[in-house]
């Protein structure tokens, strides 16, 4: 059996990346600016789950590496401290810049900058090896967080400029950063931009990052270029579906393509999953028909329910599940918070904390004032399958 060309996974690079040429070209312009030893406007990609934000970050990381730019990538999480990830990233940058001797000469200054961290320098004269290590200082980590980060990135940025070695920092799931960490990061990046240092930043997250960043710093709107990553248009969705198969001599007829597009609504992850199911069940056919696609519908839905939707719903408390079910009862999405309150039989004020919890966990987001929707595409359809009485 020919290898399955579809890759439905979290951040898995598809065999054919469709519909993102303009975004990638724009990222390449940032890389080119960094290569000129200058700073470019920072980027944040935002959108729903499954639209390919992580794939884009991975693609940009590869391009940075191809251009000999020092790059570090990490993912924020609800239960982990951003500072831990940052220290690991900075440690990697220091090693890749090969600036241990530089830092050794200025260790007193560096220790002062890293008052919130612990720095350890060791040297082995027998092997002529030097080692620099950084770790969080529990006693001081909350002290001068923003100014420490500013000083730290300024120092590294100046060294990068002197050595003509640009740096690219990529952070996924940025919406999980707490307010203090995000504020510190914005201040540091703002200073980097003012000094025109060759450090690039690419972030990715759910739509809530627009509001969170704006609330944190008034200049966030000017500091970043916010790029909406949306569903694929029909022509791009078509290419995402057919290009991987065509390389292996398998083709889709137009009715089959249209059916997949209508069911997936152009979401990249869903297209990969549908293609995966079709391939597993219909790969003996050289031409995939609409009938063949329809025969794979049940297995497609089953895989989504068990592998994409369920693990997210399992993270919700009973009351959070009730809130989301009442969103579905409103009839159309986005829905108004006041309509949800009516279906729950409670005043808006009493359910607002629940709304905040769901936004914090990444289940829903504000589409506009008073309007909310799910961050996971077709989550309402899934809830109807789980709770048929809705």
Whether 265 shows a pLDDT value over 60: the answer reads yes
If one compares 352 and 178, the residue with the highest pLDDT of the two is 352
Strand (E) or helix (H) holding 136: strand 129-136
Mean pLDDT of 252-263: 97
Would the pLDDT of 168 be above 80? yes
- CATH label of the domain that carries residue 347: 1.10.10.10
Contacts of 221 by beta carbon, 8 Å cutoff, 6+ apart: 213, 214
Q: What residues contact residue 170 under an 8 Å CB cut-off, 6+ apart?
A: 57, 60, 61, 71, 72, 73, 74, 201, 202, 203
Q: Rounded to an integer, what distance in angstroms lies between the CA atom of residue 7 and that of residue 271? A: 10
Cα–Cα distance measured from residue 138 to residue 83, given in angstroms and rounded to the nearest whole number: 11
**Same structural domain for residues 43 and 183?**
yes
Q: Is the pLDDT of residue 143 over 60?
A: no
- Are 327 and 335 contacting, i.e. CB atoms less than 8 angstroms apart? yes
Q: Are residues 269 and 322 in the same domain?
A: no
- 217 and 238 fall within a common domain: no
Residue identified by tokens 């027998």 is 126
In a shared domain, residues 109 and 253: no
Give dist(CA 262, CA 134) in Å, integer: 51
Asked if residues 29 and 189 have their Cβ atoms less than 8 Å apart, the reply is: no
Q: How far is 320 from 249, CA to CA, in rounded Å?
A: 47
**Cβ atoms of residues 43 and 27 within 8 Å:** yes
Backbone angles phi, psi at 102, to 5 degrees: -60, -45
Give me the pLDDT at residue 88, please: 74
Assess if residue 262 is contained within a domain: yes
Cα angle vertex 120, ends 83, 146, to 5°? 30
Quote the pLDDT of residue 119: 45
Examine the pLDDT at 2 and tell me if it is beyond 60: yes
Same-domain pairing of 145 and 222: yes
Burial 120-146 (b: 16+ CB within 10 A, else e): eeeeeeeeeeeebebeeeeeebeeebb
User: Is residue 12 situated within a structural domain?
Assistant: no
Dist. CA 329–CA 306, nearest whole Å: 23
Radius of gyration of the chain (CA): 24
CATH assignment at residue 81: 3.40.50.300
Last residue of a domain, one of 195, 228, 261: 228
Phi-psi region of 143 (alpha: psi -120 to 50; beta: other; left: phi over 0): beta
Element at 273 (helix H, strand E): helix 268-282
Residues 224 and 206 in one domain: yes
Among 182, 210, 228, residue at a domain's last position: 228
Q: Are residues 335 and 290 in the same domain?
A: no
The pLDDT tens digits for 281-304 are 876 789 999 999 999 999 999 999
What does pLDDT average to over the chain?
86
Tell me, yes or no, whether 292 lies in a domain: yes
Residue 390 in any domain: the answer is: no
How much is the pLDDT for 222? 86
Whether 93 is in a domain gets the answer yes
Confidence band of 103 (pLDDT split at 50, 70, 90): low
Q: Kindly state whether residues 26 and 141 are assigned to the same domain.
A: yes
Same domain, 124 and 42: yes
Rounded Cα distance between 200 and 54, Å, is 17
* Strand order across the 335-336 sheet: 335-336, 371-374, 364-368
The domain that holds 297 is classified in CATH as 1.10.8
Examine residue 14 and state whether it is found in any structural domain, yes or no: no
Q: Are residues 192 and 263 in the same domain?
A: no
Residue range 326-333: mean pLDDT, rounded: 94
pLDDT of residue 120: 47
Range(s) of the domain holding residue 287: 234-310
Residues 155-169, mean pLDDT to the nearest whole number? 90
In a domain? residue 11: no
- What is the pLDDT confidence band of residue 18, given thresholds at 50, 70 and 90? very high
Sequence-ordered strand ranges (E) for 222-323: 224-228, 251-252, 287-288
Tens digit of pLDDT for each residue in 181-225? 888 889 989 999 999 999 999 999 999 998 888 888 888 888 999
Q: Is residue 145 domain-shared with residue 240, that is, in the same domain?
A: no
Structure confidence by residue, pLDDT tens digits, 104-119: 555 445 545 554 554 4
Per-residue pLDDT at 150: 82
Tokens 């979290």 found at: 10
Q: How confident is the model at residue 32 (pLDDT cuts 50, 70, 90)?
A: very high
Name which of 40-49, 135-144, 150-159, 310-319 the model is least confident about: 135-144
* Burial class (CB within 10 angstroms; exposed 0-12, middle 13-18, buried 19+) of 384: middle
Please report which confidence band the pLDDT of residue 138 belongs to, taking 50, 70 and 90 as the band edges.
very low
Q: Quick one: pLDDT at residue 111?
A: 47
Band of residue 11 on the pLDDT scale cut at 50, 70, 90? confident
In a domain, 184, yes or no: yes
Which letter, b or e, does each residue of 223-257 get, where b requires 16 or more Cβ atoms within 10 Å of its Cβ? bbebbebebbeeebbbbbbbebbeeeebebeeebb
Instruction: For residue 305, give the DSSP letter.
Output: I
Share of the chain above pLDDT 90, in %: 65
**What's the confidence (pLDDT) of residue 285?**
81
When divided into structural domains, the chain yields a total of 3
User: Is 212 in the same domain as 257?
Assistant: no
What percent of the chain is predicted at pLDDT more than 70? 85
pLDDT at 279: 94
- Residue that is last in its domain, among 228, 252, 286: 228
Number of residues in the chain:
390
Task: Quote the CA–CA distance of 293 and 288 in Å, as a whole number.
Answer: 7
């Amino acid at each position: 059996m020919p290898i399955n060309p579809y890759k439905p996974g979290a951040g898995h690079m598809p065999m054919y990346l469709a519909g993102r040429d303009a975004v990638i070209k724009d990222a390449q312009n940032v890389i080119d600016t960094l290569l000129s030893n200058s700073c470019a406007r920072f980027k944040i990609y935002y959108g729903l789950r499954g639209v390919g934000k992580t794939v884009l970050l991975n693609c940009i990381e590869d391009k940075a590496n191809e251009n000999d730019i020092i790059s570090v990538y990490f993912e924020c999480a609800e239960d982990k401290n951003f500072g831990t990830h940052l220290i690991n990233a900075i440690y990697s940058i220091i090693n890749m810049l090969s600036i241990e001797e530089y830092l050794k000469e200025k260790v007193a200054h560096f220790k002062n900058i890293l008052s919130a961290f612990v720095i350890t320098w060791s040297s082995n004269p027998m092997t002529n090896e030097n080692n620099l290590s950084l770790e969080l200082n529990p006693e001081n980590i909350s002290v001068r967080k923003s100014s420490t980060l500013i000083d730290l990135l300024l120092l590294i940025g100046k060294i990068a400029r002197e050595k003509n070695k640009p740096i690219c920092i990529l952070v996924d799931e940025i919406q999980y950063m707490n307010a203090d960490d995000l504020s510190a990061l914005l201040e540091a990046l703002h200073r980097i931009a003012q000094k025109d240092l060759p450090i690039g930043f690419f972030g990715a997250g759910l739509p809530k990052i627009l509001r969170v960043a704006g609330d944190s710093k008034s200049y966030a709107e000017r500091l970043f270029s916010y790029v909406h990553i949306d569903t694929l248009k029909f022509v791009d969705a078509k290419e995402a579906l057919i290009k991987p198969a065509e390389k292996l001599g398998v083709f889709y007829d137009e009715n089959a393509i249209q059916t997949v597009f209508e069911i997936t609504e152009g979401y990249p992850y869903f297209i990969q999953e549908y293609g995966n199911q079709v391939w597993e069940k219909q790969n003996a056919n050289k031409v995939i028909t609409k009938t063949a696609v329809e025969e794979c519908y049940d297995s497609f839905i089953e895989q989504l329910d068990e592998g994409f939707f369920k693990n997210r719903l399992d993270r919700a408390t009973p009351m959070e599940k009730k809130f989301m079910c009442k969103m579905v009862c409103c009839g159309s999405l986005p829905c108004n918070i006041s309509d949800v309150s009516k279906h729950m039989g409670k005043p808006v004020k009493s359910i607002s904390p629940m709304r905040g919890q769901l936004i914090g966990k990444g289940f829903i987001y504000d589409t506009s004032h008073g309007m909310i929707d799910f961050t996971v595409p077709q989550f309402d359809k899934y809830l109807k399958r789980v709770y048929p009485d809705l």
